[in-house]
A and B are shown apart, each in its own frame.
Chain A
Amino acid sequence: MASKLEQENHHHGHDVGERLYLHRHSLVHSLPSHLKIIAAIAFILIVVSTPVTKWLAFVAYFLWLLTVVTIAKIPFSLLFKRSLIEIPFVFFAILMPFFGTGEKVQVGPFDLYREGLIAGSGIVVKGTLGVMTAIILSTSTTAREILRGLERLKLPALMVQIASFMLRYVNVVNDEMERMKVARESRGFEATGIKHWKVLATAAGALFIRSYERGERVHLSMLSRGYEGVLPHDEPPKVQTKVWITAMIYPMVAALIFITQLVIGRM
């Protein structure tokens, strides 16, 4: 099994569909994908239901998350680089303390609104924990395995099919796009400004038509082999209780932190 993965990973350099996956031999990598998905979602649910004022709980969540990242052998640099993806989403949350009404607090050189500060930092902190959890999942699981996991979790078959076709053809379409780019540049074209958008838009249109036609051809070839709406899928493997428990440690520790902050809050 390990050598098989190795063989696959050997080619991942140019594989658009699997570029998030980082091949390592770790406990996290070895867990079945559907359990990892459940664990990730459970962890995120616990985190978002923690009141943002319990800042100690969030410190604990972060420490625990970083521990799991270490177990998964994911470099911190990669984790932080990839979590930059959340910036466009939390952009407004960062602005929230600057606009608002009510009580103000002095933070360094800034005069901030208290309500906005709490709400904004809540979104940023919870968002970051969520994104990082997703990064652990996507870095330790191939996209193919995530789809298998979703299938085992009874996500509608049509959605899984659409996603797996996307995964299969993203490389084909990407290659096609590259070839078109090379063909454009070979004839002296270089996209430098807005006046070139028309050319790029035409190319995108052509790519769309080509992909659409390919979709029709693929469908024909599926019909030719007796397709009737169901893709083959393997029976889900029997998962041992031990493996279940191992996977659930991730949200369980978060639950412990959650309960602890509740208890401390009461006292």
Chain B
Amino acid sequence: MTTPSLEIKELAFAYPDGNQALYGVNLSVQKGERVALLGPNGAGKTTLVMHMNGIHPTSHGSIHVAGQLVDSKNKESLKEIRSKVGIVFQDPDDQLFMPTVGEDVAFGPYNMGKRGSELDAIVNEALELVGMLEFKERPPHHLSFGQRRRVAVATVLAMKPEILVLDEPSSNLDPASRRELADILRSLDITMVMVTHDLPYAYELCARSVILKGGVIVADGSTHEILTNSALLSANRLELPVGFSIQ
């Protein structure tokens, strides 16, 4: 067996105010896998994501990305980890902070030391992957929400990550943008962890799902199995949309 892209062991975390969010999470994601991370609001999904690239320091347990330990005290390794874990945040306006789309996509690889024509090639490639190359010179606020979300994905792809982490990728998207994004995500040859409430989206894109509730993983299996287990879903405040059924 090869090294997993993501290996989380016994991860626990409490906020400084004493509020404990994670109570020992175990999760292993193999290279090339697409995993949906499901769970009700307040389950600790975002907290978990923030651990994956060392934004929250690991206080208990361990996280390895492609075999490398996430250690928030080691600045050099943290830099490498952050280039390996690409997080696409929920609100693209939080992610697109540079004056133009192109400059924003260049931000990550620039921090990784890329310059000049090499940087330019990376930016063009990433924008091409999400079909946004023609918007390179545009300021982000002139784009539609769906376009901004796609650029946000490109900003992360430009860092050539080992693993792509998406926080609610389908939220606020109209049906066409939602489908376009799904097509793009499916076309990428990359390990993916997708945090979502959108169960049909998880079903469409991820073969495997895990449910996080109360700071622990309560279910881990094929998305089909999990979404057809209605008792499991309702115990975790998850619901398929009305009229949606899986055979």
Contact of B91 among A15, A217, A223, A225 (CB under 8 A): A217
Majority SS of interface residues in chain B? Answer: helix
Q: Is the CB of B139 within 8 A of A225?
A: no
Chain A residues within 8 Å of B79, by CB: 226, 228
How big is chain A's contact interface, by range? 20 to 34
| A142, chain B: closest CB distance, angstroms | 10
In contact, B55 and A223 (Cβ under 8 angstroms): yes
**B residues within 8 A CB of A225?**
82, 107-108, 111, 155-156, 159
- For the complex of A and B, 8 pairs with smallest distance between CB atoms: A226-B111, A225-B108, A232-B110, A217-B94, A171-B141, A221-B95, A11-B142, A224-B87
0 or 1 for each of A154-174: is its CB under 8 Å from B? (1 = yes): 000000000011011101100
Contact B87 A221 (CB under 8 A): yes
User: Which A residues, 225 to 266, have Cβ-Cβ distances below 8 Å to chain B?
Assistant: 225-228, 230-232
**CA of A165 to CA of B89, assembled, Å:** 18
State the Cβ distance, B140 to closest chain A Cβ, in Å.
Answer: 8
The minimal Cβ–Cβ distance linking B131 to chain A, given in whole angstroms, is: 18
- Interface of A toward B, CB cutoff 8 Å: 4, 7-8, 11, 15, 144, 164-165, 167-169, 171-172, 214, 217-218, 220-228, 230-232
Of A7, A222, A226, A232, the residue contacting B103 (CB under 8 A) is: A232
Interface on chain A toward B: helix, strand, loop, or mixed SS?
helix
Given contact pairs A168-B98, A232-B106, a sample of 13 additional A-B residue pairs in the complex whose CB atoms are under 8 Å apart: A7-B137, A15-B141, A144-B99, A165-B97, A167-B99, A221-B94, A222-B97, A222-B107, A223-B82, A226-B79, A226-B82, A226-B108, A232-B110
Pick from B83, B86, B103, B111: contact of A228, CB below 8 A.
B111
Q: Which residues of A contact B53 (CB under 8 A)?
A: 224
B155 to chain A: which residues have CB within 8 Å? 225
B184 interface hit (Cβ, 8 Å)? no
A224 engages B139 (CB within 8 Å):
no
> B143 → chain A, closest Cβ, in Å?
10
Q: Is B93 an interface residue when CB atoms closer than 8 A count as contact?
A: yes
